[in-house]
Chains A and B, each alone.
Chain A
């Protein structure tokens, strides 16, 4: 009997302890890949925040005499790189842990500061696309009828627009608008803000404007499925205003799946920024971005492979861990989706 009571008490404790959130957290904690991904992301965030402390030098401190300097261990790692003492072309300098770029700037410091850009985009991209997607999806789903029809056709057209081309076009519009006097107050303020942020603002806007359609469709679908439910009807009957129904009854149903898809999309946003910086429409130099560093290093891959491989490795690691984390989060929050795309 005592045994039975103990068992009962234990199960009660368990039942009390298992809310939806703790359940999800427990599932997440059991997913080893997601934990590893989370740790790497966290390390990246810390490095980005503490960049002035972590980085051995300033990211824009150029010492021209040290251009393309390479430490000894890299020369041993890449057999093609012959030091000058042995008739080669590489100047050995152990002051730079990963070497220096063509302007004599420390590669490691630039990679450390570059994490800031990638993470900022990885954070703001989902926020912006979620913001636009939420508004469009809520309005379309809740209003229905003609509004819904028009909004969804806009989404369709945006889907057919080649994303890369649209982003490039938008960036060209933004970037060229910076110097022009006819921009007006809004553009002028935005440009000044953008310059203060090293070119990040326009990247946020550009990515946000091209990536909200999926979120809008998702939100609309969720709204449609909840709209006719009894509790929304009940809320309506007791005279709740529309904004309250949206905020209290519809939004909580929408936000879960939205967060999952946006987390899974983070690597895409990071890749977009890297791509934009790669073709020279991204952040303004000398602000370091991994994409821009890869572009600088790409044409010297034969002589200085370290200059392209290390930024590439950093970009890969961050995207890889965000992928693992996103997968784990999805499985944890919605176990029915497990293993599905």
Chain B
């Protein structure tokens, strides 16, 4: 991507180095997060088979633990987890079917020997018998992602127009009404908004299903319950930022040279007012795509969120590690993207 020129010299080289450094930092952050999670999770007393230990002979439990290498020293367990996730493997020839389940990414390579490039083995789930963490990701992550993406649409689709309109109609009843709505939206936590929406649209008006999953109608209430709070934040931020930009000298210049108001707003004001909004949109998207616990619980949606809480109480170590890492990746990538987009929108910003 060609980056804008500043001071007559191309920014491409520094931006390249900047991106490289961000990616290295990203990997380090993920490593640290996985280590913290590992330590915390093993600080919880009991193991994945503590429940069974009361009914099964000790020998069996020991064999189970040996099978999953739970009897190895902790640092060995951690290092082998990192190795399994990070190091890609190339397998040759006919492999048992479970190999495909173990890895999140399986790519068939061209050639005769049935070579496959496999990457990211998050290990088995101890509690969901016969399933691997990669299976859980494959089955349940798309559900959370679809919900999160729709909620993000609500955030942007409601937040932007509300903020822009109230900035352009500043101090009119429209502005006051919009900002009142926004502060209302900010103060409503999901666990309040969700039951209220369920009651209004599901129980009282009977136009949408109260809970469940399957049809497109099932998506509407959860998406709004999830997206409204962020929409309010976006609306307030857009309004404040647009108002600030509209006071700038170059806007007066644009008006003075006779540009139409629409052109002034669309071309000169909006892009610059987007900068602060973009910074919050990134993490917002990451949280929406992943942080859907409450909504999933209330609406009975089979996404990722439900697994995390049950996996902790069940000491399902691999599921805990996998989920935290996955969510952290979303968050870190979103933040890094924001940093890069930031430089692209506003070339004045010097990265250090």
Contact = CB atoms under 8 A, between A and B. Distances in A.
Interface in B232-249: 233, 236-237, 240, 243-244
A315 B191 CA distance: 9
A169 to B, nearest CB: 5
Given A164-B293, A301-B199, A301-B210, A341 B240 contact: yes
A294 B297 CA distance: 12
B44 interface: yes
A341 B236 contact: yes
Contacts of A324: 183
A327 B196 CA distance: 26
Contacts of A305: 199, 203
Nearest to A297: B195
A29 B25 CA distance: 48
B183 A170 contact: no
B313 A172 contact: yes
A271 B37 CA distance: 24
A271 B229 CA distance: 12
A336 to B, nearest CB: 12
A279 B190 CA distance: 13
B236 A182 contact: no
Contact of A162 (B43, B186, B291, B312): B291
Interface stretch (B87-95, B116-124, B143-151, B328-336): B328-336
A312 interface: yes
Contacts of A297: 195
Most buried by A among B187, B188, B203, B312: B187
Interface residues on B, range: 35 or more
B79 interface: no
A319 B187 contact: yes
Given A169-B41, A301-B199, A305-B203, A312 B192 contact: yes
Interface string A17-48: 00000000000000000000000000000000
A267 B233 CA distance: 14
Interface residues of A, number: 48
B312 A168 contact: yes
Interface string A317-341: 0011011100100000000000111
Given A160-B29, A341-B236, A294 B45 contact: no
A316 B192 contact: yes
Contact of A160 (B33, B192, B196): B33
Contacts of B43: 173, 177
A160 B293 CA distance: 18
Nearest to A180: B45
B174 interface: no
Nearest to A316: B192
Interface string B263-289: 000000000000010000000000100
A309 interface: yes
B203 A275 contact: no
B298 interface: yes
B199 A161 contact: no
B195 A275 contact: no
B157 interface: no
A213 to B, nearest CB: 13
B155 interface: no
Interface string A159-179: 111101100111011001100
A323 B187 contact: yes
Nearest to B336: A160
A229 interface: no
Nearest to A321: B187
Given A165-B323, A180-B45, A301-B203, A278 B37 contact: no
Given A160-B29, A279-B293, A316-B188, A339 B195 contact: no
22 contacts: A157-B29, A160-B328, A165-B308, A165-B327, A169-B37, A169-B40, A172-B44, A176-B44, A177-B43, A267-B187, A278-B294, A279-B297, A294-B192, A305-B203, A315-B191, A319-B187, A319-B188, A323-B186, A323-B187, A339-B243, A340-B244, A341-B236
Closest 6 CB pairs of A and B: A320-B187, A180-B45, A162-B327, A312-B192, A271-B189, A319-B187
Interface of B: 29-30, 32-33, 36-37, 40-41, 43-46, 183-184, 186-189, 191-192, 194-196, 198-199, 202-204, 210, 233, 236-237, 240, 243-244, 276, 287, 290-291, 293-294, 297-298, 308-309, 312-313, 320, 323-324, 327-328, 331-332, 335
